Structure 1
Amino acid sequence: MSLFGRIFLLNALVLVVAAALLVFGPATVSTPALSREVLVLASGLVVMLIANAVLIRVGLAPLGRLTRAMTTIDLLKPGPRLQATGHGEIAELITTFNSMIDRLEAERGYSSAIALSAQESERRRVAQELHDEVGQSLTAVLLSLKRVADQSPQETREELLQVQETTRSTLDEIRRIARRLRPGVLEELGLVSALKALTNEISEPTGLAIRRRFDKNLPPLDAETELVVYRVAQEGLTNTIRHSGADEAELSLKARPSQVELTIRDNGRGIGTSQEGAGIRGMRERALLVGADLEVGAAPGRGTEVRLTVKAKGAGE
């Protein structure tokens, strides 16, 4: 039965009952109406309205749940679908809404996969150009400066040596940026070695003390999942440096049954009630690409905790 038909039937039922009571009941209405009769009619009207409101409220309750779901849904935080309770058009509406969310999540995942793949390709290209073009050019400049400094008088040589040191520092910084854009260690030595190199690169210039804990015999991960774990760790530590005000952090990689769990915890000011920024939403998009679970919240005691749980290679197939 349609929604209109159900509401019409409920109202008709209440009116029929009221009319039957009026016709077959002992109550009558005088002209002019007595106060006793007005009281009886008012009481009957109140009962009718209450009954009508209760029946309609029960019938439209699923629409209230659907409205709350529409206002709180987040495609980056998949959750359980609404149960298609109710009758007729209401159940059909909830089923259609669930199907729409499924399509939107699939389309967003596909679009995110294309965007992140293009982003990684662009990072590799930029890193390669920094290493091959800019790096080689600066290396040639260093050699030229050294040759000129060796042939220059003493008063000029000191200035050339300072320029040489500045150029060498710039070359080191460019190499560091290239490594962060394209983690070659990840491809060559694996995830654990890449995370160790990442923590060393972050802690040395910033002074952030990072404790590392890596379980032995971690389940194997495919290449895409390892890249997601690395990028989430990179973004999590970057957010710790930029926003938390922490001086200590912990990065751990733990083995779970058919899963690997990455945890980043700091002793900073915490995330509080602030809204999630582009960094956290980017981590969520990466997690969705490999079917991982990402939780960002307050750490036990103080600070912020980022927890990423990914499936091991072959798990769930």
Structure 2
Amino acid sequence: MPISRPVPWVSPVLYGAVLAAGLYAWLAGLGDTQPVLFAGGLAALAGIDLLERRRYPARTPRRPAAALLGARIALFAAVAAVDGSGLSRALFVLVPFTAYFAFGRAIAVALAAAGALLLMTAGAVADPRWYADVEQVSDLLMFCVGLVLTVSMAAVAVEERRARAELAASTARVAELSATAERNRVARDIHDDLGHHLTAIVLLLEKATAFRDLDSGAADRAVLDAHGSARRALDDVRRSVRTLREVGEPFSLSDALTDLVAGQAEDGGPTVVLEFAGEESGHDAAALRALYRAAQEGITNSRRHARATLVSVAATLDAAGAELVVRDDGRGFSPEREGYGLLGMRERVQLAGGRVDIGGASGGGTRLTVTIPRRSAP
């Protein structure tokens, strides 16, 4: 399928060469050149090109393109008839060249073959023994070479433009996918960071409301704990913004899990026990962050949905990979209750090359297991 109009400089260059040769032949008295008709025909051709570009800036529709091509062929013939130099026959190479952009390769090749056959037939009619004339055979061969070159040039131009269009589309698609991936990442971070702290704040305020009349001291402590959780949420937001703006310190899973567990006690949440084994060096940072987010989500769900009183977090890192197990003694897990948090967790773990398993734990409660094969740290 045609994709655009012809290369704009080819026709004017050829018109200029034909004009110079024809005027030289006229001034030198070579042949029978009629300068007014000759120059007027070339000017008309240039005018057609200019009007077409203005009328159809991007692409000429097929019907107008066919009409314009017919007009050009007629003017080519008229110019050749009044040109004593004989060079005007080179104008006919523009026929397949223009047709390639307007109608495609098949029609362009057919017109090129028809042009060569027409020139051969005209030579045979004028001189039955034209094939014995070296000059006529040379002219025919040169004309055929010109046809091949112009069709090849048109093919290269079309493919180059198509490649540029495909590259632009691919670039736009990559940008769109990158933006989507970044939006999903930010959404996961918002859910994991703010969602975790907001859950604690909501539960603490509910506790303060429930104990307001029964135990004012417990209510006051719950409000203070809620304030503390809100401050930690603000610190997490600032840390996330800082991370987006600059390269932060290397991530430490053990330190992050230790802080996470300590924060549960400060927020008045369930008892959380941490077990950590192995060395983090050599493990992919994305895998370590995915484990931390999984632990964060597991504790939040144990606190919000399971109403657990005891949560255990066990992280094991070895040569084969990394594993995180979060268990609680709550009400158990229902698959239909999976929300955005678990979805985001699965996405993070899958991006790190791992898997998530979640279900009931022995003795009741819920067991969350995250396994990520080891990949070398970048």
Please confirm whether the aligned pair reaches a TM-score higher than 0.5, indicating the same fold: no
Larger radius of gyration: 2
Higher relative contact order (CA 8 A, sep 6+): 1
TM-score by length of 1: 0.45
TM-score by length of 2: 0.38
